Structure 1
Amino acid sequence: MEASQTRRAVQTARATASSLGLQAEDAVVVSDSDRIAVRLLPCDVLVRVAPAAHRAASEFEVEVARRLTAVDGPVAELDPRAEPRVHLRDHFALSFWTYYEPVGSEIAPAHYADALTRHHAALRQVDLGAPHVTERVAGALREVGDRERTPALPGPDRELLSDALGGLSAAISGAEAGEQLLHGEPHPGNLLATRRGPLFVDLATCCRGPVEFDLAHAPEEVVEHYPGADHDLVQRCRVLVWALFATWRWRRDDRFPDRRHWRAEGLDRVRAALDRC
């Protein structure tokens, strides 16, 4: 978010928490991109604040969390002191989550794989409509094909991303792999090390596809510990994951931190992943 919007979002989080009877004398921004996560004290709650235009995504995330918590999935839970819904206030959509104090800095590959295995098992127990991963790819292809939406993307790199997205999407959708609900982006930044064990966050990216698409977001060592993974499919999915990431960074209205660096890094990762395939 822009600095002024972030300040307003924090103020709105505090005001909304106070209206719910939660003490919010201090606020610490934990993350800031297209939405913010802010920790309020002394009530110690984590509030995710998004522009009201993103209300549907916030509501979807809350519903995913509710359903996975009910089947004991390894996910961050909504804060029980607030209604399990999205609160609308001052042009923002807010959801209230349990704050987990971090424990350590890294999660061992075997523990990471175990958490993802249990997460996938929990996802198989819920009946939830979610887009297929190829729909996400189709959205990225529209961005790459629209020079007004990605004006700074050089021609050769535009062709690289178009070929990677189109070719790999077709290969994955045609693969003989079981499909199910997925986290969608279970990279290390979305897996918290807590006293309860590893917990996944940022559930709005839930989609449908092969588990290998989720595995492609995790460190390579994790795949070795995940039972039954198709390693060739994981490598193809890594190309797709980095092509998606790079595409989002080249959007005209992208607000990802250090975007210039990640534009170049994303393209380099696509080329490296293609080489490995």
Structure 2
Amino acid sequence: MEPSELRRAVEAGRATASELGLRADDAIVVHDSDRVALRLLPCDVLARVAPSGQLADSEFEVEVARRLAAVDAPVAELEPRVEPRVHVRDAFAVSLWTYYEPVGPEIAPADYADVFLRHHAALRRVDLDAPHFTDRVAAALREVNDRDRSPELPDPDREFLSGTLAGLSAAIGVDEAEDQLLHGEPHPGNLLNTRRGPLFVDLATCCRGPVEFDLAHAPEDVGKHCAGADQDLIHRCRALNWAMFSAWRWRRDDHMPDRDHWRVEGLDRVRAALDRCGPGRT
């Protein structure tokens, strides 16, 4: 967020917690992008604060968390001392979560695969209306194909990303028989090693699709521990995921830190991932 918007977001998170009876004298920014995550002290609560235009996404995330907690999924939980809902304050949507102190070393591939499989088993027990992963691809395509939304994207890269997104989405989404509810972005940044064990966070990306779509976000060795996973499909999904990542970085209003680096790096990752897909690629 821009500095002025960030200051307002921090105050919205702190004030919301205070009004709900949680002492929030201080706020530490844990993550700052299109929305921010704040550690509020001394109540030790995590506040997720998004512009009110993302209210529906925030409400969806809270509902996903509530449903998954009911089936003991390995996910971060909502703050138990307040009602599980999204609060709107000063044009921001605020949700309150349990804060987990990260512990221990990097999660080993076998342990990552174990929590991944347990999470997907829990997701299969949840009845939730969620978008298909191809809806997310379509949103990325709109950013790429609209020059007003991505004015700095060079035309050759625009054509490359557009063709990659459309082609891979059609190839991967052709058979929906094995689709299930997914996390959507279970990459290492969204898996915390806590005293309770590994827990997935950032549940707003929940969608439907093949399990391989989720596996493509995890470190490569994780998929080798998941029996029955289609390795070729994982390669195609990884290329698609990098293409979507790149599309978001070229948005006019993207606020990811070090965005210029990731604009170049993202395109390089797409090409490298496509090379691993072999002949025909899509």
Which category of TM-score, normalised to the shorter sequence, fits these structures? over 0.9
Structure 1 partner of 2:128: 128
Structure 1 partner of 2:228: 228
Q: Does 1:93 align with 2:93?
A: yes
CA contact (8 A) 2:176 2:210 kept: no
Q: Does 1:215 align with 2:215?
A: yes
The Cα shift of 1:105 comes to 4.0
RMSD over aligned CA atoms reads 1.0
Structure 2 partner of 1:137: 137
The Cα shift of 1:28 comes to 0.6
Structure 1 partner of 2:256: 256
| Same amino acid, percent of matched pairs | 75
Q: What is the CA–CA distance in structure 2 between the aligned matches of 1:18 and 1:114, rounded to whole Å?
A: 38
User: For 1:178-217, what per-residue CA distance to the aligned partner results, in whole angstroms no more than 9, with x for missing partners?
Assistant: 1000000001000000011110000000000000000000
- Give the match's secondary structure for 2:233: helix
Q: Does 1:149 align with 2:145?
A: no
Q: What is the CA–CA distance in structure 1 between the aligned matches of 2:149 and 2:25, rounded to whole Å?
A: 41
- For structure 1, the residue ranges without an aligned partner over 5 or more in a row are none
Correspondence list, 1:102-251, <5 A: 102-175=102-175, 178-251=178-251
- Give the match's secondary structure for 2:31: strand
TM-score by length of 1: 0.98
- Aligned letter for 1:119? H
- Give the match's secondary structure for 1:25: strand
- Give the match's secondary structure for 1:27: strand
The Cα shift of 1:226 comes to 1.4
- Aligned letter for 1:174? V
- Aligned letter for 1:251? R
Structure 1 partner of 2:280: none
Q: What is the CA–CA distance in structure 2 between the aligned matches of 1:52 and 1:117, rounded to whole Å?
A: 34
- Give the match's secondary structure for 2:40: strand
User: For 1:48-104, what per-residue CA distance to the aligned partner results, in whole angstroms no more than 9, with x for missing partners?
Assistant: 011111110000000000000000000000010111000111111100100001012
The total of aligned residue pairs comes to 277
Structure 2 partner of 1:45: 45
User: For 1:156-188, what per-residue CA distance to the aligned partner results, in whole angstroms no more than 9, with x for missing partners?
Assistant: 111111111111111101247610000000010
- Give the match's secondary structure for 2:257: coil
Structure 1 partner of 2:67: 67
The Cα shift of 1:17 comes to 1.0
